[in-house]
Amino acid sequence: MRIFLFILILSLLSFSFIYDAQARRFGGGKSFGMSRNSNSFSNARFGDSAKQSALSRPSNANRWLGPLAGLAAGGLLAYLLMGNGIGSGMLTWLLVAGVIWLIYSLIRNAMRPATQSFGYRERENSPQDNLAHLASRQTFSSSTQNTTPHSVDFDENIFLRDAKALFLRLQTAYDNKNLNDLCEFCSPEVFAEIQLQIQERGEAINRTEVVQLDAALLDTAIEFQVLLASVQFSGLIKEDTNQTAATSFKEVWHFRKENINPRWIVAGIQQ
């Protein structure tokens, strides 16, 4: 009986630390590729995004629930091994079942998001919209060489909508190891890093669910005849199939478009 309880509690200990062994989203939460000085961005946009991120950020206390539950289960294990358990029989089974149910309920309730998400769930089929068709809608001043905010004249709402669609598309491609799609929408530097991450992942399953996605245009510029746009993505995301609650994220993607290529591509990710 005690051997069975020993195995059962070890399984419970493994379950309590499951939130620390998650898969990762596209880019792995790292900074690589192109980076830009945030001092040139609009302060008002940064302030608005910070407020929105603060509203959806879950409590840090949730991160401690798994380890605390593990300690409680470990204490019960030590109690039984020392010979001070309540003995075999129906009462033992009821105690074990009650402890498991209590720990599971605490973790599930505490990890539940505090704010209601938009319900935007990532689809298996990649979004049809992308940033390529914006080239025909934009007018650029060839004489502009500075990096002042919004020096590129284009439809911001359409651009952000397509940027969000590309964000979701790349998450799916990253999960499915679709190197063709990743290569098409990433610069060589970004693609090299993503390809390395996929190789390091091996055969492990990676599933990402974007629960809430917001986008803010921080800056647009023309540098050496190359069009640049910096977009801050934020929201709620699940990076593991076993994750019961979404976690907040915020990162800046730098898009680039050259004259020889009418398609916007991801040139860098900055945390």
CA distance 254 to 36: 8
Nearest CA to 58 out of 104, 122, 110 is that of: 110
The pLDDT tens digits for 154-212 are 789 999 999 999 999 999 999 999 999 999 999 999 999 999 999 999 998 899 999 99
Residue 241 to residue 50: CA distance in whole angstroms: 28
Q: Are 253 and 29 in contact (CB under 8 A)?
A: no
Identify whether the C-beta of residue 235 lies closer than 8 Å to the C-beta of residue 56: yes
Q: What is the pLDDT of residue 3?
A: 60
Sheet holding 247-257, edge to edge: 32-33, 265-270, 247-257, 226-238, 209-223
How many Å apart are CA 141 and CA 58, to the nearest integer?
A: 44
- Tell me what percent of the residues of the chain surpass a pLDDT of 90: 37
- Among all chains, which residue has been given the structure tokens 């911001």? 156
- The yes-or-no verdict on residue 31 having pLDDT over 50 is yes
User: What average pLDDT does the segment 35-64 reach?
Assistant: 50
> What was the pLDDT predicted at 41?
56
Across all residues in the chain, what is the average pLDDT? 71
| Residue range 199-243, pLDDT digits in tens | 999 998 899 999 999 999 999 999 988 999 999 999 999 988 777
Angle between helix axes 90-110 and 65-81 (nearest 10 degrees) is 170
Nearest to 218 by CA among 227, 210, 228: 228
Domains of the chain, first to last: 2-15+62-110 (no CATH), 31-58+118-270 (3.10.450.240)
